[in-house]
Structure 1
Amino acid sequence: MEKIETIEQFEQICLSNRPFFMMKHSLTCPISHRAWQEFERFANDFPHIPAYYLYVQHARPLSQHIAQMFHVRHESPQVLWITEQGAQWHASHWNVTYEEMKKATMSAS
């Protein structure tokens, strides 16, 4: 997992043309804490799948940029599965689970 903070960093990741997960995490929300645990467990179990995250309190412009770029309403916690075709899946709040992330990667295969 890699923390990103700028639009420029995110644009470089998108240029790599490989699927990856992006999590918008709130440092103050208990629901986000639970979603973070799911995201972290998934990233540890599938290290070959790139996983990035941002803290919404520290990277609000980036968080808004992602929402606008992929036409997905900003929420937090929120996880997006991004492929060459755009945001193929996203979930927020209690729907951010290990199993749902796993399903997202399989449906893209």
Structure 2
Amino acid sequence: MTPWQPLTQAEQLSEIVRESAEQPVIVFKHSTTCSISAMAKSKIERQWADAGLENAKLYYLDLLNYRPISQELAQQFKVQHESPQLLLIQDGACTYHASHNGIRLSDVKQAI
């Protein structure tokens, strides 16, 4: 089972920065009406158990309900907004990001 943590408040971004000093933090930005996004989310859920990322914290952002948070993520971590998108936050900075079919947990594991 994928340990999704819902990202629903802008205040959680400072929490993510703090957490990223202790452990890698992954944020998955998901559009609930997009089939490509649904495929990317499903792929993450299927691969999570074998990805070797149990020390990472995994956040889930519903883009349609929390678009302002997505815009803040893009500004704070200096990445262009895309959907679906996966961000890896380490030591307060985005050290890796991917979107659409480029989202691979094996690449995240290598970036840690």
TM-score of the pair, normalised by structure 1: 0.86
2:49 alignment partner AA: N
Q: Counterpart in 2 of 1:79?
A: 86
Count of paired positions: 105
How does the TM-score come out when normalised to structure 2? 0.84
Matched, 1:40 2:61: no
Is this contact kept in 1: 2:18–2:92, CA < 8 A? no
Q: Which has the higher helix share?
A: 1
Gaps of 5+ in 1: none
Deviations 1:33-64 (A, max 9, x none): 11102222344343321111100001101000
Structure 2: gaps (5+ residues): none
Partner of 2:15: 12
